Structure 1
């Protein structure tokens, strides 16, 4: 029992992080049918923006607790500025083309943004330890754990609940579901699909940046951090089913718990365990656990 609690907590904390970075990716695919490779760079941009804003806040001698607000602000700024810029400036001209073309376009955006990040912030590592250390630690199973992990879990829960409420309890969410089900019919009924796409991509970009912003205090922020993240995010959404928000949550939880147990008992196989889970799920269910139902064309 003493080992089960730490494994479960580590797995849930890691799953919370995975869900934050995967929710936007599966949302964008569900609505726009775009496998957004640039999601990784949006994550990295959120991390760098968080370091800059929170660092400036703390450098000004302001209360350290306010640095958490700076992390949120960084995510909102990246999502509301960079997301619409990519969608309006580039992606809107690519709708209707083959999905492979859209993947290549977003991959090009990923490469461009990686170089832009290096030009703006340089190649040296950035550190932002204050938000991570500020809440302190607690004991679980005889081991010390940072309270910051609890913050990540709470943030993931709040994000998931907010997305579910927005999708199923609001008028805008129901319009979004209509677009997901049948784009052509939605246009015929007078729904502004272009505006729905813009809002969806902005929200997805904000979620990617949110994951990066709240990860920044736990790591050394360096160029290339978005590469591993986009691979992990793809693994999670493929396990859960492309376009399924609930699938992303379940996929993140499954990967998080399996990884946590593997790190505990067989650390050399940490990375292998994630892709082993993906392989086993796809063997049983080739479209993932909760693949979104496709509209039948007549």
Structure 2
């Protein structure tokens, strides 16, 4: 009798484990649910995905090549053949806009990955040492990454130093865990939310920085298109006043992309840091 009651209770407890797992979702699933409730952030996420797919796939369906020049179609206004007009060499602005979007987005993403990797590792190392660090497409990526990683390293270091004072970290010291295990097993995983938010912002900063460098002639070198050097092509007052199709499309593309990334970053911050969201209210 007692054996049957014991086995029945055990089966009931085992049956409740999956139910409890469903009732308490993982932190990442909770963050995704919170992000989905932010309609503006989700709209910006979809917009960025559409723009990325558009820049990747769009040139394959364009009848014009990037390097196809036409002396008879120089600086033509938008028309049925050239939706966004042509530039000073007779090249299709619409096709170059999409190809430039590839370059600018690649620079933003690779710069973010490299700077986040450097910032993540250096922030962890600096937290242990307890002091703070005072041509071409690839060169632009490296330069921008070297400018971005100290900021991320400082944030990761500050977050780790704050987490060290939490109760769960004091418990790891009592248990006698090694410094490496406490760092890589407990401290760094808890800095991932702030890293995700900062990585999102780093993409926007990299796109803006690349555009500024290319506009000044220090970034991506023509004929490789980028949004920055497309705007640099309209470098005269006549182009600025009479040929807005040369500089407005890349300017609008930069504006929409950066605003969408910043709004998405705010949504990720609210989803990954509920305490901050409550403090705003």
TM-score range, shorter chain: under 0.3
TM-score (norm: length of structure 2): 0.26
Bigger relative CO (Cα 8 Å, ≥ 6 apart):
1
